[in-house]
Amino acid sequence: MSALLKDAWDGLLDQSWLVPTLLLIGLGLAFAIPEYNWLNKYIQLVLMYIGINIILTVSLNLVNGYMGEFSLAHAGFMAIGAYTAALLTMKVLPVVAYPVLFPLAVLTGGIVAAIMGLIVAVPSFKIRGDYLAIITLAFLMIVKSVIENIDYIGGPRGIPGIKRLTTLPWVFFWTVATVWMIRNFVYSKYGRGVLSIREDEIASDLMSVNTKRVKFLAFMLSSFCAGIAGALFAHLLQFISPRVFDIIKTTDVLIMVYLGGIASIGGSILGATAYTALMELLRPSTMVALLNWLPDLVFDPLNQYIIQNLGVWRMVIMPLLLVLVMLYWPRGMMGQREFRGFIPRRDRDAHRRINTRGEKL
């Protein structure tokens, strides 16, 4: 019976109409939810954060998971995208044209971030491992420091009053676009090059993989997506400052990558969703709302305590979660495994064989 079900499930996944249908339903929902207020505003906001975090996680997984490098610069690329797009919508583009030109601003943010990605990509030709981690860290700090020292873009005070242009349909669109791009990249010729770099860079160079070009493309694609996420983030939060994009933001994304599992797009989506939802659940206001929902069980002092302290303890739980995942759950939710739906049809059998070998992480 279960074999029959499994066959039916596999058959369903092989249908070519499945993905377009799901996407259409998703897009319809993305338009309908804000239009008819099917979910309350707060949950809509959380959905948008989940989308942005999926973009960040999937794109960081390309470098940290599939390629096996260790980049800490993701928040830096995000900052570049955010500042570029925010400056465009606030100082360059005419107000009337916002709805039309907003995607252009987001795209420009991504492109500028991709160009800056070269600063990290070029040293990575020669340098690997710990030292590359240091370079990416230095890059992040330099981005932050440069922004702090330019008065025109607000310096350390940041840019307040950005228009709220990020909507649920746009987040849905960019999330799907990112997942689509990275999935296609990973399963392309270059994607195999990326995997071979992770396993052994020198050997793959000898096997005539053009490692420089592969790294180049991977870093640029990753930082492009980070820039897009940053642009969306800026127009959702409506306020950006260098402090928003510090090492803690990168750590957030790292947690999502490793919680979901490296080298897995499905894992990144799950990890980003689970982590964002968990962090929102631990917000004092959410927790109090939940507790008030169960009035018989709870005493007022507990509510008081939560209002006063949970905001801080939440920040204690976050890094602890990262450490615990690394210690006890190194594969994460889906480390090096993948939903069948994300694997191209031609690769499905091969992929199954690879993963039954019980690969090391």
Partner 1 sequence: MSEGIVYWLQQMLNALQLGSIYALIALGYTMVYGILTMINFAHGDVFMVGAFFCFLAATYLGLPFVPTLLLTMIGAALVGALLERLAYKPLRNAPRVSAIITALGLGLFLENFTLALAPYPKHIPPLLENVTWDMGGVSLSSLQVIIIFLSLGLMFLLDYIVHRTPVGMAMRAISWDKTFVPLMGVPVDLIISVTFAIGAGLAGAAGTMYALAYPVIDPYMGIMVGWKAFISAVVGGIGNIRGAMIGAFILGGVEIMVTAFFPSTYRDFVAFTLLLLLIVVRPYGILGKPRTQKV
Chain residues in the site for partner 1 (CB under 8 A): 64, 68, 70, 123, 126-127, 129-131, 133-135, 137-139, 141-142, 144-146, 148-149, 156, 202-203, 247-248, 251, 254-255, 258, 309, 312-313, 315-316, 318-320, 322-323, 326-327, 330, 361
CB of 321: closest distance to partner 1 in angstroms?
Answer: 8
Q: Determine the residue type at 137.
A: L
Nearer to partner 1, 100 or 316 (CB): 316
Residue number, 156 or 344, with CB nearest to partner 1: 156
* Closest alpha carbon to 194 in 66, 71, 70, 351: 66
> Residue 138 CB, nearest distance to partner 1 (Å)?
4
Q: How far apart are CA 47 and CA 101, in angstroms?
A: 23
Give CA–CA dist 116/120, Å, rounded.
8
> 139 — phi, psi (to 5°)?
-60, -45
Between CA 358 and CA 354 the distance in angstroms is 8
Cβ-based nearer residue to partner 1, 331 or 340: 331
* Shortest CB 359 distance to partner 1, Å: 12
Cβ–Cβ contacts within 10 Å for residue 213, how many?
11
62 secondary structure, DSSP code = I
Distance in Å, CB of 202 to partner 1, minimum: 5
CB of 203 to partner 1, least distance (A): 8
- Which amino acid makes up residue 186? V
Query: Is the CB of residue 273 less than 8 Å from the CB of residue 106?
Result: no
Q: How far is the CB of 196 from partner 1 (least distance, A)?
A: 15
> Is the Cβ of residue 285 or residue 309 nearer to partner 1 in the bound state?
309
Q: Which is nearer to partner 1, 51 or 242 (CB)?
A: 242
Name which of 9 and 313 has its Cβ closer to partner 1: 313
CB of 166 to partner 1, least distance (A): 28
Count of Cβ atoms closer than 10 Å to residue 302 Cβ: 13
Burial of 145-169, coded b for 16+ CB within 10 Å and e otherwise, reads eebbeeeebbeeebbeebeebbbbb
Q: Which residue has the tokens 């894992």?
A: 267
CB atoms within 10 A of CB 236: 19
Q: Which is nearer to partner 1, 228 or 254 (CB)?
A: 254
